[in-house]
Structure 1
Amino acid sequence: MTAPTEAGAPSTDPDQRRREQRGWYVYDWANSVFITSVVTVLIGPYLSNLACVSAGAESAEACLDPSLALTPLGLDFLALHPNALYPALTTVAILLQILLLPTVGAMVDHSRYKKRWLFWLALSGSLCTAGLYFTTDGYLVASLLFVLANLLYGLSIVVYNAFLPEIATADERDRVSVTGWGIGYLGGALLLAVHLGLVVNADALGVGTDGAARIAFASVGIWWAGFTVMAIRPLRNRYGALAARVRGRPRVGESLRQFGHTLKDMRRYPNTVLFLLAFIFFNDGVQAAIRYAAPFATQDLGLEEEALIITILIIQFVAFGGAFLAGRVARRLGSKNTVMATLVVWGALVAAAYFLPAGNVPLFITMGVGIGLVLGGTQSLARSLYSQLIPKGREAEYFSLFQISDKGSTFLGSLTVTVAVSLTGGYRVAILSLLAFFVVGGLLLWRTRMREGIVAVGNEVPRNL
């Protein structure tokens, strides 16, 4: 590990900044495979299958029996249907992140060794993911490893994002954030293509569907850990005023008190708060649209799994190019205007989804292309804009709030979709209802005075805002 240097400003040496930026990109390449392959595609069916077998169901059709129930650790009050295990575990992981992100963010800002935090969080998460390879005897160990891996992934992202203001100047921030996001999509797409090939040919290879999934989990863990080692080497440890006051290791109690002060202090930065509110709403729409595209496709549009697999891959590859396209547009229109433009496209996409005819694969794939074009731009430029609104030396704390907003907004979207599906029996109205999140988020972003907010926290105002 490199010796820490005081203070969070980027290096004045362009070559040094580029070296650190390349390392930072590699961590996006390293961790994105966890979300793409494990969370989005493989872990849900794998856990459901383990849970169904444990509940006594002999097939997926038999597992639809509403009388089936799991009683984890023999506790009746935890009883749930086997098919509800995956969403329940996802909810637990999100709640744990919301509880722990502020503590970890504050402790990282009190530490002089940010690289060490990133390394151990990523390594622990990758080991939990690789450990899923050995989960053949029941669902409990697999459930625990998935929750831990999900939690550690979220914590590592807070530390990773906190490096952004330290490795890029105000004018470089959009380019660096967009590049990292785009490279992450490319890495996730490449390994996902291998995994999908493995799953589709599982029987021919003699490993079975669950065996193929376990091999994929192991490869994700190895990929995540290996590229993390490469990522952290060029990065440098820097610390701000909070860490300068701490002798020895940061203490949990002191870090929590500091986080409380931060929440009170945020009242001095109304534009930072307004941006976070805007992000909660429009990110809510983005996450819900992605999360519920699969059941919408299978239940309302009657599409086969092969069409979904093809569309997921297309979205990943298009999102790689879309992130860079958004960066180029931002250099002309400004970052804030570009994000608002992507929200208009998102609104048009969810409105058009309502009218999609059942069984039309080309139109569904076309919609996937549209999602890929705006997906990376919305998320990467939002991260860049937020990084401009953070006081120096408190990056991890403020990015923990950003991550909490990301996770917390998942609840709002899921609740809206749940209510809409309950009332209508399908996902068409549910997807259409997401239009409100893009409208409200766009209006709040429009009301955010970025220049005023950047000056208020003491940062340099970029040329293309």
Structure 2
Amino acid sequence: MQLNNSKVINAWCMYDWANSVYSLVITSAIFPIYYNAVTTGVDGSDRVDFFGLEISNSVLYSYSLSFSFLFVAAILPILSGIADYSGKKKFLMKLFVYLGSFSCMGLYFFTGDNIEWAILCSVLASIGYSGSLVFYDAFLPEIATEDRFDKISAKGYSLGYIGSVILLIVNLVMIEMFDVFWFEDKGTATRFAFLLVGVWWLAFSQITFLRLPDNVHNLKPKNNVFTEGYKELKKVWYAVKEERMTKLFLLAFFFYNMGVQTVMYLAATFGSKELQLDSAKLILTVLIIQLVAIGGAYLFAHISNLKGNKFSLLLMVFIWIFVCLGAYFVYSENEFFLLAFVVGLVMGGIQSLSRSTFAKLIPENTIDNASYFSFYDVTYNLSIVVGTFCYGIIDQITNSMRNSTLALMLFFAVGMGFLILLKLPKSSKLEPKKA
């Protein structure tokens, strides 16, 4: 297959456009606010009954996210091995896309008294989203040359931020002007927004599926795909064990990604519970993060080109440490908006650069891209499990989400320590070119 084909690359980037509406509307903006509103009693109580267990609504949400990512971390390695052996990356990616998009549509039926249904749909949507990414990310080293990874990854994330903001604005207009759109109330309009997310995700992903190759390496399975898939994964596992640089990067990524993803998933809940911000201000906060993240992705890709991936990642993690410290002392909405601006700046950059950095660490001419990326995505998912679980349990014990932000600061500090130990070979494009 011809590398750096613009039509294929643009189609690949469009999946960020397709799936990022889930990240924004379902995990970060409208759904957490709606969930918090319909599960809070008229007396202000945040206790809910979940299959007979009485628990805080925010703690339940944190734990459900942890479970979904733990489940994905358990099943993806073997699926990625099967994908590499059988050449079915796109097929498996489609399965997760359909699961996630239809689960988002299912949230339309969540009215507040059926919280078990809401948790089921949100967990399945999360599984669909994170499951599709391992196969999506694995296409990057198969469609482009290494020198273009940073810019292509940044373009994907930027398209994702733009597309998700467009749909978010459409949903906000629809919710605020619900009567113009013939809805009975804001709640019905909000639930229709979840339906739109699923439709958007499903529809735009077809552009990606249309252009991405079905089988890059034309592998022909001759034996049982499950046993051969396991052998494929085992082979990559032994290869990764011997690559010290890859192991150090994955350790660093594990710790700093705990903080990044936990902030993304629980920022709106923090603003609602700790600062008592209304829904309009919480949505504005999320919009600030998304819009600034567009520039942040390109900014740090440029810094990486000048100073190297390691320098750029260290700079962003350093900023994240102060973001967490600042969150502990934030008490006014203006301070919260300023913090959101900084979060947006480093959120776009650290996500896109982490993906492209790992793509560069994969040995040249490998045909095991999905298996390699399964280690990246398992690390990604496990870090969210630990991050959201720690955040939730500290919130449960101390009854304060502020204390949880200090734990996130420690995660970033440990991640920075591993990044400092990382020594990249001079021959790699991970390091800046000498003048």
Whether TM-score is above 0.5 comes out as yes
Q: 2:298 aligns with which of 301, 318, 324?
A: 324
User: 1:449: how far off?
Assistant: 2.4
- Alpha-carbon distance in 1 for matches of 2:209, 2:41: 43
The one-letter amino acid of 2:137's match is N
Query: What SS is found at the alignment partner of 2:87?
Result: coil
Is 1:402 the counterpart of 2:376? The answer is: yes
User: 1:29: how far off?
Assistant: 0.2
**What are the residue-to-residue correspondences of 1:239-258 with 2, within 5 Å?**
239-240=216-217, 244=219, 246-247=221-222, 251-258=225-232
Contact 1:119–1:229 (Cα < 8 Å) also in 2: no
Contact 1:48–1:86 (Cα < 8 Å) also in 2: no
- Alpha-carbon distance in 1 for matches of 2:322, 2:357: 24
- Alpha-carbon distance in 2 for matches of 1:348, 1:33: 28
User: 1:398: how far off?
Assistant: 1.9
Which residue in the other structure is 1:236 paired with? 213
Is 1:312 the counterpart of 2:292? The answer is: no
Q: 1:226 aligns with which of 203, 208, 222?
A: 203
So what's the TM-score if we normalise by structure 2?
0.88
Quick one: structure 1 residues 44 and 307, their matched pair in 2 at CA, closer, same or farther if it must change by over 3 Å?
Answer: closer
Q: 2:410 aligns with which of 406, 413, 436?
A: 436
Q: String of CA shifts for 1:43-89, please: whole Å, max 9, x gaps.
A: 34555677x5xxxxxx73257275x6332xxxx6xx34473553343
- Alpha-carbon distance in 2 for matches of 1:297, 1:146: 21
Contact 1:63–1:82 (Cα < 8 Å) also in 2: no
How big is the alpha-carbon RMSD for the aligned residues of Structure 1 and Structure 2? 2.8
Contact 1:171–1:463 (Cα < 8 Å) also in 2: no
Which residue in the other structure is 2:64 paired with? 89
Query: How many residue pairs end up in the alignment?
Result: 428
- Alpha-carbon distance in 1 for matches of 2:400, 2:309: 36
Which residue in the other structure is 1:389 paired with? 361
Is 1:198 the counterpart of 2:174? The answer is: yes
**What are the residue-to-residue correspondences of 1:127-206 with 2, within 5 Å?**
127-134=102-109, 138-202=114-178, 205-206=182-183
Which residue in the other structure is 1:56 paired with? none
The one-letter amino acid of 1:225's match is L
Q: String of CA shifts for 1:318-362, please: whole Å, max 9, x gaps.
A: 111111111122221112211111111112222233333x2x222
The one-letter amino acid of 1:247's match is K
Query: What SS is found at the alignment partner of 1:290?
Result: helix
Query: What SS is found at the alignment partner of 1:69?
Result: strand
Q: 1:40 aligns with which of 28, 31, 37?
A: 28
- Alpha-carbon distance in 1 for matches of 2:198, 2:94: 14
Moved more, 435-444 or 347-356: 347-356
Identity of paired residues, percent?
31
Which residue in the other structure is 2:187 paired with? 210
Which residue in the other structure is 2:311 paired with? 337
Which residue in the other structure is 1:55 paired with? none
Contact 2:268–2:286 (Cα < 8 Å) also in 1: no
Contact 1:178–1:380 (Cα < 8 Å) also in 2: yes
- Structure with the greater alpha carbon radius of gyration: 1
The one-letter amino acid of 2:131's match is L
- Alpha-carbon distance in 2 for matches of 1:425, 1:255: 45
The one-letter amino acid of 2:414's match is V
Is 1:23 the counterpart of 2:11? The answer is: yes
Contact 2:29–2:282 (Cα < 8 Å) also in 1: no
**What are the residue-to-residue correspondences of 1:410-421 with 2, within 5 Å?**
410-418=384-392, 420-421=394-395
Quick one: structure 1 residues 326 and 422, their matched pair in 2 at CA, closer, same or farther if it must change by over 3 Å?
Answer: same
Q: String of CA shifts for 1:77-111, please: whole Å, max 9, x gaps.
A: xx344735533432332222111111221111112
Contact 1:171–1:462 (Cα < 8 Å) also in 2: no
Which residue in the other structure is 1:294 paired with? 268
Which residue in the other structure is 1:271 paired with? 245
Contact 2:71–2:127 (Cα < 8 Å) also in 1: yes
Q: String of CA shifts for 1:386-441, please: whole Å, max 9, x gaps.
A: 11112411111121221221121123333443465466543334323322222211
Is 1:102 the counterpart of 2:77? The answer is: yes
Select the structure with the greater relative contact order (CA < 8 A; seq sep ≥ 6): 2
- Alpha-carbon distance in 1 for matches of 2:376, 2:431: 24
Query: What SS is found at the alignment partner of 2:50?
Result: coil
Query: What SS is found at the alignment partner of 1:440?
Result: helix
Quick one: structure 1 residues 375 and 47, their matched pair in 2 at CA, closer, same or farther if it must change by over 3 Å?
Answer: closer
Which residue in the other structure is 2:41 paired with? 60
Contact 2:65–2:123 (Cα < 8 Å) also in 1: yes
Unaligned regions of 5+ residues in structure 1, if any? Answer: 6-10, 53-58
- Alpha-carbon distance in 1 for matches of 2:44, 2:410: 36
Quick one: structure 1 residues 44 and 252, their matched pair in 2 at CA, closer, same or farther if it must change by over 3 Å?
Answer: farther
